[in-house]
Amino acid sequence: MKKLCCFSFILLISFLAGNSYGHFTGKGHVHTLSKTEQVFLNPDCRSTDTCDLKRFTLTMSVYEVWFSDDPNYPTYGNGVIMEYETDSVDALEKYAIVQFIKGCVFDSSKMGKARSVEM
C-alpha cells in the first residue's frame, strides 16, 4: 500500500509538471503604459547642512508584460527607480533611501449576536 501511494504521488507530480505553463517561449514583450518622473532639487541646503546632496529623482513606471503572444492574458506590474546625486563619492554614504509607511493597525470581526454585560 505504501508503494502504491508513493507511485501515485510521483505520477501526479509528473502530470502536473508536464501541464504547467510557466516556461518562457521567447515570444513575449513589455509595454510601458505610463512613466512619471519627479525631480527634487535641494535649493535650501544651507539651512539643513545638506549642500552635498544635489538632487533626488523618483521615476515610477507601469508595465504590461506579455509572456507569450496570446492577447488574452497580459500581466501588469509597477516599478520604481530612486536615485540621488551628490557632489562627491565620500558624500554617498551620508544618505540612504528608506521606505516609510504611515498608517494604523486594527482588527475587526463579525459577531453573531450583541451581548450586554450587567454589573
Angle ∠(73,35,55) on CA atoms, nearest 5: 145
Burial 49-58 (b: 16+ CB within 10 A, else e): eeebbeebee
Domain residue limits at 43: 25-88
The count of domains in the chain is: 1
| pLDDT higher than 70, residue 119 | no
Examine residue 53 and state whether it is found in any structural domain, yes or no.
yes
- How large is the average pLDDT for residues 43-70? 87
Rounded mean pLDDT, 40-52: 90
* 94 lies in some domain: no
pLDDT reading at 116 higher than 70: no
Determine the distance from the C-alpha atom of residue 43 to the mean position of all C-alpha atoms in its chain, rounded to a whole number: 32
d(CA 82, CA 58): 5
In a domain, 119, yes or no: no
- pTM for this prediction: 0.54
Whether 77 is in a domain gets the answer yes
